[in-house]
């Protein structure tokens, strides 16, 4: 049975911490590198239900995409919600390891996993990492559909292929527009509009799109937008990462057991679609504050 430090060395080769953004907080959050490792759970968010799932599964390592502490802290007291996670993990001998922006830009990375579940052919990174001579690492991916597709067809494909969430998929643009190339970026992608426009793609699938960047991108050029749940765009990475660790385990004869949490940890838990009658509400006959 490998030591945790043996497993972590392999994870750091997949996602070198030095390639994380400077503001990021990746690597080992808690856990003893000298402890034995036999079972690993992958998840997007290090929230308490996921920590409890790791304990329940008998995992000794929980690997998450999102950091538990992105900024420094002065307490891990169990009466704070993050401290409760730390206590739950340590008390039950579960280590927590984070691969965040270093997994985003890896080859394969978060957006490769996203493109893969959507059945898209990856052409290259949307924002290439200049330090990669092969030109495969970087943020987001430019892709082409394997068969002719419209924006509404892409939205249906995303709704069908991504894990289900209450948020579903929001769409902006002409539903009948044909898509020759698309960009995808797991997680919050609205800082990438300049690169999306420069890439000349017909549509962009990401998460957390805000009003102004989305509106301005639409005004600038006929770009189709698909806004999916943040969790749903990053969850496919967990499956990809677990498969990568399985392959490493086989190579070393470690017999590690890997699992992927299917718990939906997207914070949005319900979505009330507008009814047709609500889209054009009746104009009030007398406006408040009008002179009587
Ligand atoms: Zn994310």
Cα separation, 207 vs 17, in Å, equals: 24
Instruction: For Cα atoms 161, 163, 165, give the angle at the middle one, nearest 5 degrees.
Output: 125
With a cut of 60, say whether residue 146 has pLDDT above it: yes
Cα separation, 205 vs 214, in Å, equals: 12
CA of 188 to the centre of ligand 1 (A): 6
Q: Which of 238, 134, 252, 233 is nearest to 192 (CA)?
A: 233
CA of 127 to the centre of ligand 1 (A): 17
Structure tokens at 175: 């539903």
CA of 66 to the centre of ligand 1 (A): 6
CA of 106 to the centre of ligand 1 (A): 14
The reported pLDDT for the residue numbered 273 is 85
Q: Over the stretch 83-140, which tens digit does the pLDDT of each residue have?
A: 999 999 999 999 999 999 999 999 999 999 999 999 999 999 999 999 999 999 999 9
Q: Over the stretch 206-241, which tens digit does the pLDDT of each residue have?
A: 999 999 999 998 888 889 999 999 999 999 999 999
| Residues by chain with Cβ below 5 Å of ion ligand 1 | 187, 234
Contact between 4 and 33 (Cβ < 8 Å) = yes
| Domains of the chain, each with CATH number or no CATH | 4-102+235-260 (3.40.1390.30), 105-228 (3.40.1390.30)
CA of 95 to the centre of ligand 1 (A): 20
Q: Over the stretch 59-86, which tens digit does the pLDDT of each residue have?
A: 999 999 999 999 989 999 999 999 999 9
- Indicate the pLDDT class of residue 286, thresholds 50, 70 and 90: low
CA of 273 to the centre of ligand 1 (A): 25
CA of 44 to the centre of ligand 1 (A): 8
CA distances from 53 to 68, 182, 261 (A): 16, 36, 8
CA of 292 to the centre of ligand 1 (A): 53
Please indicate, yes or no, whether the overall pTM of this predicted structure exceeds 0.85.
yes
CA of 42 to the centre of ligand 1 (A): 14
CA of 134 to the centre of ligand 1 (A): 25
Binding residue per annotation — 211? no
Binding residue per annotation — 65? yes
């Amino acid at each position: 049975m490998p030591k945790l430090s043996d497993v972590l060395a392999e994870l750091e080769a997949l996602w070198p911490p030095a390639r994380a953004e400077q503001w990021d907080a990746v690597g080992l959050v808690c856990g003893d590198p000298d402890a034995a490792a036999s079972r690993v759970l992958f998840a997007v968010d290090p929230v308490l239900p996921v920590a409890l799932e790791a304990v329940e599964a008998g995992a000794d390592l929980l690997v998450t995409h999102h950091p538990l502490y992105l900024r420094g802290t002065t307490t891990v007291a169990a009466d704070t919600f993050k401290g409760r996670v730390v206590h739950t993990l340590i008390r039950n001998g579960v280590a927590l390891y984070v691969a965040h922006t270093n997994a985003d830009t890896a080859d394969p990375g978060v957006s490769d996993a996203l493109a893969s579940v959507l059945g898209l052919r990856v052409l290259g990174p949307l924002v290439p990492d200049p330090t990669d001579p092969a030109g495969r690492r970087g943020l987001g991916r430019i892709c082409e559909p394997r068969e002719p597709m419209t924006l509404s067809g892409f939205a249906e494909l995303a709704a069908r292929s991504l894990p289900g969430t209450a948020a579903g998929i929001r769409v902006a643009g002409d539903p009948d527009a044909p898509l020759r190339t698309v960009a995808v970026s797991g997680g919050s992608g609205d800082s990438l509009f300049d690169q999306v426009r420069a890439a000349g793609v017909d549509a962009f699938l990401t998460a957390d799109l805000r009003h102004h960047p989305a509106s301005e991108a639409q005004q600038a050029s006929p770009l189709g937008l698909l806004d999916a749940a943040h969790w749903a765009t990053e969850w496919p990475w967990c499956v990809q990462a677990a498969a990568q660790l399985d392959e490493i385990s086989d190579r070393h004869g470690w017999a590690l057991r890997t699992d992927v949490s299917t718990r939906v940890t997207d914070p949005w838990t319900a979505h009330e679609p507008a009814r047709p009658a609500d889209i054009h509400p009746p104009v009030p006959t007398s406006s408040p504050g009008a002179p009587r």
